[in-house]
């Protein structure tokens, strides 16, 4: 965006060092870093920066709550692989960003947040709207900066971009005092370049390690590849696929790994962990070799660590040395960028017959596989699984789905088959309710040509529903599916399983979401039966603008299978047999 004049002026600044105000330097540096869109909310301490915006070719999206800004930056980054940028004022503006920053931290998402702060002369005096945001965000950022001189702005922002994307990515916050924004300095983009990136000194890929790994793969009878978010972060989809195909090793995915290995691939087993497929978790328990690629053995994936996959040797290929041997004892650690490590490893791996093991896994699907969701007669009820499954079928899987957190998130993971990386955007590590709507807006800005779906629960949707206005103000099209069960469903499920169905504080009264959308000028439709789903999804897709579907689903449905937190991976709660629904789909 931006006029030609703005673009020419901004480009000239990048080449010829010029005296600019600190506020102008903020934008000039962002232009230099290739930023086109930012998500933010103004206020007194960041006003100089907002005042300077008109001179620069950057589009600013006005959010309705700063949490929305950090989630949008996050969704932008997840969808594109580029750094997302959020801007907020001091004090409450900055603290409102924090949930989104922590969300990005836990999922290793590169975002840069810029906050204004009070003038450096009154820092630390509890001045109006002063908050120690670098102190507050210290544990939830990869790094942060407090800048109080105009000349330090460009180097800080440029370092922030470098830190955000390098090694294991993550959020970086740059807090800029008001006097720094108002002061002037020579803007020299080239000179503000950060020092060369220093790889973590404990990265270690030794020849002996590669040889050992190759040896383990050669001799394994029951190997499994565990593929995580690191696969797409490192761009190692091809390498993982080559490894799997050449050595005929089945692949299990983490929640954030979904899409990093095609769902339709015959070697794809599906998702592992708390709500993973039963046969996947059983296979992991039975395996004699786990090859962990860009995943961190999170507790939602391992269940109890003392009973986790006891028969297997473990190879861990991971970019963050602090993750190796953290939760699970590793036999061969290859600490480095996944793609680079796999490129070194692949020449040592030769083709291998995996048929027996694959057949064993296939057999273990047993009854689950034959009770295909598609073949179940319509009972008149609406199940979330059907909704998700139909969205997947009708979109041909060619959509970016952004989920919130809860049961619907797990059903999405189970019933929407992701073929491509970056096609599922979800808060895995922090599990942040309210993530979906703003993150989807960010994703749409990153990929304007893509079809974007929000899948949210009635609870989480209400946490950030104010961003509907942002959608209207920006005139963007996304499709919203609310899986409305009248409960904080996932918590209700825990209460049902572990707290004697004492549904304390989980029944939820909601507004009429279609009317709510209407009040924003957004079209919508309520869906009560399975028979209406296909038509409703088609209507949403063909509508010119954003469209909201309010799916009134079964109220007390649960996600199966489920490993209770802290239990062994094979100790799953299964769907009671008399229930008509299958526990897992098998119609890829």
Ligand X SMILES: Cc1ncc(C[n+]2csc(CCOP(=O)(O)OP(=O)(O)O)c2C)c(N)n1
Q: Which residues bind ligand X (CB under 6 A)?
A: 404-408, 431-434, 457-460, 483, 485, 487-491
Torsion of CA 447, 449, 451, 457, to 10 degrees: 30
Residue 201 interface partner, choices another protein, ligand X, none, CB cut-off 5-8 Å depending on type: another protein
Number of H helices, E strands in the chain: 23, 20
Residue span 151-190 as binding mask against another protein, x where in contact by CB under 8 A, dash where not: ------------x---------------------------
In angstroms, the CA 475 to CA 481 distance is 18
Q: Where in 199-228 is the site for another protein (CB under 8 A)?
A: 200-202
Burial 125-143 (b: 16+ CB within 10 A, else e): eebebbbebbebbeebbbb
**Would you say 287 or 483 has its CB closer to ligand X?**
483
Binders of another protein among residues 129 to 158 (CB under 8 A) are 134-135, 138-139, 142-143, 146
**Whether 524 contacts 456, CB under 8 Å:** no
Residue numbers 340-369 binding another protein by CB under 8 A: none
Q: Which of 55, 72, 145, 178 is catalytic?
A: 178
Pick 365 or 492: Cβ nearer ligand X: 492
- DSSP letter, residue 422: T
Give every strand in the sheet of 523-527, ordered side by side: 424-425, 399-403, 451-457, 479-484, 547-552, 523-527
Q: State which of positions 300-329 bind another protein (CB under 8 A).
A: 320-322, 324-326
* Binding-site partner at residue 134 among ligand X, another protein, none, CB < 5 to 8 Å by type: another protein
Least gap, CB of 426 to ligand X (angstroms): 12
Does 495 interact with another protein (rule: CB under 8 A)?
no
Binding status of residue 299 toward another protein by CB under 8 A: no
Q: Does 274 qualify as catalytic in the annotation?
A: no
Catalytic pick among 490, 513, 557, 562: 490
Active site residue 128: yes
How near is the Cβ of 96 to ligand X at its closest, in Å? 13
Pairing between β-strand 184-187 and β-strand 18-21 as defined by DSSP bridges: antiparallel
Q: Cα–Cα distance between 93 and 358 in angstroms, integer?
A: 53
Burial of 89 (0-12, 13-18, 19+ CB in 10 A): buried
For the bound state, the minimum distance from the C-beta of residue 73 to ligand X, rounded and expressed in Å, comes to: 18
Q: In the annotation, is 66 catalytic?
A: yes
- Is residue 105 annotated as part of the catalytic site, yes or no? no
Nearer to another protein by C-beta: 82 or 200?
Answer: 200
Residue of 6, 39, 66, 269 with catalytic role: 66
User: Of 170 and 486, which CB lies nearer to another protein in the complex structure?
Assistant: 170
CB of 201 to another protein, least distance (A): 5
Give whole-number Cα distances, 319 to 2, 145, 219, 283, 347, in Å: 38, 24, 26, 26, 20
Position of minimal CB gap to ligand X: 457
On whether the CB atoms of residues 38 and 113 are closer than 8 A, the answer is no
Instruction: Respond yes or no: is residue 323 known to be catalytic.
Output: no
Smallest gap from residue 234 Cβ to another protein (A): 17
CA dihedral 245, 247, 248, 250 (to 10 degrees): -90
- Cα gap 1→37, rounded to integer Å: 8
Identity of the residue, 373 or 490, whose beta carbon is nearer to ligand X in the bound complex = 490
Residues with catalytic annotation? 66, 128-129, 178, 490
């Amino acid at each position: 965006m931006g006029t030609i004049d703005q673009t020419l002026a901004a480009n000239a600044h990048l080449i010829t060092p010029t005296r600019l105000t600190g506020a102008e330097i903020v934008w000039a540096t962002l232009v230099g870093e290739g930023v086109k869109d930012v998500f933010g909310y103004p206020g007194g301490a960041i006003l100089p920066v907002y005042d300077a915006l008109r001179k620069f070719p950057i589009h600013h999206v006005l959010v309705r709550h700063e949490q929305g800004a950090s989630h949008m930056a996050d969704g932008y980054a997840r969808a594109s692989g580029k750094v997302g940028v959020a801007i907020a004022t001091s004090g409450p503006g900055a603290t409102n960003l924090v949930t989104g920053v922590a969300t990005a931290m836990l999922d290793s998402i590169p975002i840069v947040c810029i906050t204004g702060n009070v003038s450096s002369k009154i820092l630390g005096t509890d001045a109006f709207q002063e908050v120690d945001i670098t102190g507050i965000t210290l544990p939830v950022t990869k790094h942060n900066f407090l800048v109080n001189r105009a000349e330090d702005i460009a180097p800080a922002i440029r370092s922030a971009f470098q830190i955000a994307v390098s090694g294991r990515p993550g959020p970086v916050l740059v807090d800029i005092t008001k006097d720094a924004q108002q002061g002037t300095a020579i803007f020299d983009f080239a000179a503000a370049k950060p020092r060369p990136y220093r790889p973590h000194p404990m990265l270690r890929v030794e020849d002996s390690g590669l040889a050992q790994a190759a040896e383990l793969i050669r001799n394994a009878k029951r190997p499994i590849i565990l593929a995580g978010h690191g696969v797409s972060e490192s761009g190692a989809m091809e390498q993982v696929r080559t490894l799997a195909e050449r050595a005929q090793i089945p692949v299990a995915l983490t929640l954030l790994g979904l899409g990093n290995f095609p769902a339709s691939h015959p070697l794809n087993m599906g998702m592992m962990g708390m709500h993973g497929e039963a046969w996947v978790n059983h296979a992991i328990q039975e395996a004699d070799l786990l090859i962990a690629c860009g995943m961190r053995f999170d507790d939602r994936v391992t269940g109890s660590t003392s009973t986790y996959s006891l028969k297997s040797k473990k190879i861990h290929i991971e970019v963050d040395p602090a993750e190796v041997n953290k939760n699970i004892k590793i036999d061969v650690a290859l600490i480095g960028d996944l793609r680079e490590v796999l490129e070194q490893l692949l020449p040592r791996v030769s083709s291998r017959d995996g048929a027996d093991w694959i057949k064993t896994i296939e057999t273990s699907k047993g009854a689950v596989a034959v009770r295909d969701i598609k073949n179940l007669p319509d009972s008149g009820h609406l199940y979330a699984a059907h909704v998700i499954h139909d969205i997947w079928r009708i979109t041909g899987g060619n959509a970016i789905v952004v989920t919130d957190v809860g049961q619907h998130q797990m059903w999405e993971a189970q019933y929407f088959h992701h073929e491509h990386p970056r096609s599922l955007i979800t808060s895995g590590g922090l599990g942040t309710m309210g993530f979906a709507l703003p993150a989807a807006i960010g994703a749409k800005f990153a990929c304007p040509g893509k079809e974007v779906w929000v899948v949210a629960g009635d609870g989480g949707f209400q946490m950030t529903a104010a961003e509907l206005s942002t959608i209207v103000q920006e005139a963007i099209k996304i499709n919203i599916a609310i899986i409305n069960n009248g409960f904080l469903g996932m918590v209700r499920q825990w209460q049902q399983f572990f707290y004697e169905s004492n549904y304390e504080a989980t029944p939820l009264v909601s507004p009429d979401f279609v009317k709510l959308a209407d009040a924003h000028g957004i079209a919508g439709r309520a869906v009560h039966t399975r028979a209406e789903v296909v038509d409703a999804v088609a209507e949403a897709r063909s509508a010119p603008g954003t469209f909201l579907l309010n799916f009134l689903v079964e109220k007390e449905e649960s996600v199966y299978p489920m490993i209770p937190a802290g239990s062994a991976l094979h100790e799953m709660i299964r769907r009671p047999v008399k229930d008509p629904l299958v526990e897992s789909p098998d119609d890829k």
